[in-house]
Amino acid sequence: MVIEGGQRKSIWYDAEADEVCVIDQTRLPHEFAIHRLRTLEDACEAITSMRVRGAPLIGITAVFGVYLALRENPASLDAALRRLRATRPTAVNLRWALDRVAQELSEQTRADIVGGALDFALVLAEEDAVCCEAIGEHGGKVLRRLWRERCGQDRPLRVLTHCNAGALATVEWGTALAAIYKAAAAGVPLHVWVDETRPRNQGGALTCWELRRAGVDHSLIVDGAAGHVMVSGLVDVCVTGSDRVSASGDVCNKIGTYQVALAARDNNLPFYAALPVSTIDFDWPSADEAIPIEERAAEEISMATGIEVGGRETKVHQYPRETAVRNFAFDITPARLVTGIITEHGVFEANRASLVALANKTLAAAASTER
C-alpha cells in the first residue's frame, strides 16, 4: 500500500543524513509531514507525543532510538533501554522489541555495537512489514469467507473497526486494515464503518485518511453509534488491532474496544483482533491480573484541535475548565467476546490452548528460518 507520494513505510532510515524518518501522525489528516529523529530524546518524544503510535510501530521506533543513543555514546545501552521502556506502559511490543535488541547487542564489542544496533533495527523493520502483510493475507481470507457466507454477490461486506490499525500503526500494511486491503485487492466489495475513537480521534484522523487513499468505501461514525449500526443490521463483522493480548486471549486495545465487542456479541456478530505474535504477552496470564493501563493528559479530552476555515490550526476548550478528567487510553476485552485472533501464522481461537499452539508454531518457524 502506498501511503503518500510513493512512500510505503511509516518509518525508515535516511542513510545519507544518518537520521530516522517517521510520518508525524499528529499532523494528519490535514498535513503530511516527515519528522526526523536524530537523538534518543527525539525517539522518546515521538513515542510519548504520539507522533508515532500503534504497538508494532512503537517497538520499531524504540529500537531505532537505541541506535541513536549508541551513536552518541556506545556505552549508553542500559540507560537508553530504561528511558525507552518508560515512554508508554501498555503496548507490549515496546518491551518485546527492546528485549530483542538488548539480547542481540549483549555480545557485541564496543566497536561493533553502533553498527549492530542499526543493522538490527533495519532487520526488525523489514520483519514487521513482512509479518503485517501475512496478517493481511490471513485476515483477508476471513473477510472473503464472510462475504461469501453473508453477502454472496449482492452487496458489500460491512466491516466495523475501531482506532487505527493500519499502515500508520506499523512499518507497512497494518493489522486490521491489512486484512481489509488484502480483501479489497482480491475483489471483495467492502464498506468500512470507522469509529471516531475519542479522544485523539485516530479513527477519523488516521483510518479515514488511509482508507481514502486506498480507495476503500467507508463512513465515519461517533463511538457511541457502533452499537446502533450493529443492531440496525448494518454490520457483518468487527475487526480491530491490539496493543497487548494475554496468554488466555484477552485483548487490550484502544479505549472503547470493549464496548464494540459487547455490542458485537449481543448482535451475534464476529469480533476479530488482528495482531503480530509479538503483541501476545505470555507473561500476562489473563485479564484477572492487572496490567498498566496508560492514562494520558486531561487536555486530550477537555480540549480540541482543528483547522479553521481559513486554514489556521486552533485549539479550543470544550468543557468547564474546572472539570476533573480521567483519560484512560486502553481497555480490556475478555477472551469470551473474541471470535478469533488473526496473526501472521493464521487465525487462532482466543484461549490458552490455542495460543500455546501458536507459540509452538512460532518457535518452529523461527528454528526453521535459522537453519
In a shared domain, residues 70 and 176: no
The predicted pLDDT at position 371 comes to 54
**234 and 361 inside one domain:** yes
pTM: 0.94
Please state, as a whole number, how many other Cβ atoms lie within 10 Å of the Cβ of residue 290. 8
For residue 2, is it within any domain?
no
In 3D, which of 258, 200, 240, 197 has the Cα closest to residue 222? 197
Query: Same domain, yes or no, for 185 and 295?
Result: yes
**Dihedral (C-alpha) 282, 288, 294, 298: value to the nearest 10 degrees?**
160
Report the alpha-carbon distance of residue 47 to residue 37 in Å, rounded.
11
Range in 175-189, 208-222, 310-324 the model is least confident about: 310-324
> Tell me: the pLDDT tens digits for 347-365?
999 999 999 999 998 887 7
* Domain of residue 254, CATH code: 3.40.50.10470
Confidence of residue 272 (pLDDT cuts 50, 70, 90): very high
Full DSSP string of 251-275: EEEETTHHHHHHHHHHTT--EEEE-
Residues 98 and 117 grouped into a single domain = yes
Angle of CA points 217, 221, 224, to nearest 5°: 150
| Distance, CA of 150 to CA of 156 (rounded, Å) | 10
| Active site annotation includes 283 | no
| Residue 1 forms part of a structural domain | no
Residue 5 lies in a domain: no
Cα distances (Å, whole numbers) of residue 117 to 73, 114, 238: 12, 5, 38
* 286 shares a domain with 170: yes
**Contact assessment for residue 271 and residue 307, using Cβ atoms and an 8 Å cutoff:** no
* Beta strand segments in 237-349, E: 237-240, 244-246, 251-254, 271-274, 280-281, 303-307, 313-317, 330-333, 340-343, 346-348
Residue 4 in any domain: the answer is: no
User: 26 in a domain, yes or no?
Assistant: yes
Please confirm whether the linkage preceding 56 is cis (ω < 30° from 0).
Answer: no
Residues 105 and 141 in one domain: no
* Number of compact structural domains in the chain: 2
Q: Which of 195, 236, 243, 250 does the annotation list as catalytic?
A: 243
Same-domain pairing of 254 and 149: yes
* CATH (domain of 17): 1.20.120.420
- Same domain for 140 and 110: no
| Average pLDDT estimate for 91-110 | 92
pLDDT for residue 153: 72
Based on the domain organization, do 42 and 146 belong to the same domain? no
The residue among 126, 155, 186 that closes a domain is: 126
Domain boundary among 88, 106, 126: 126
Give the end of a domain, one of 99, 126, 153: 126
Look at strands 190-195 and 157-161 and give their pairing. parallel
In this prediction, residue 363 carries a pLDDT of 81
Contact 36, 21 (CB under 8 A): yes
Does residue 357 share a domain with residue 230?
Answer: yes
Residue 305 lies in a domain: yes
Q: Of residues 204 and 7, which shows the higher confidence score?
A: 204
Do 83 and 181 fall into the same domain?
A: no
Q: Is there a single domain that holds both residue 272 and residue 208?
A: yes
- Residue 370 banded pLDDT, cuts 50, 70, 90: low
- Domain range spanning residue 81? 11-126
Q: 27 lies in a domain?
A: yes
Crossing angle (nearest 10°) for helices 176-185 and 113-150? 60
Residues 175, 276: contact at Cβ < 8 Å? yes
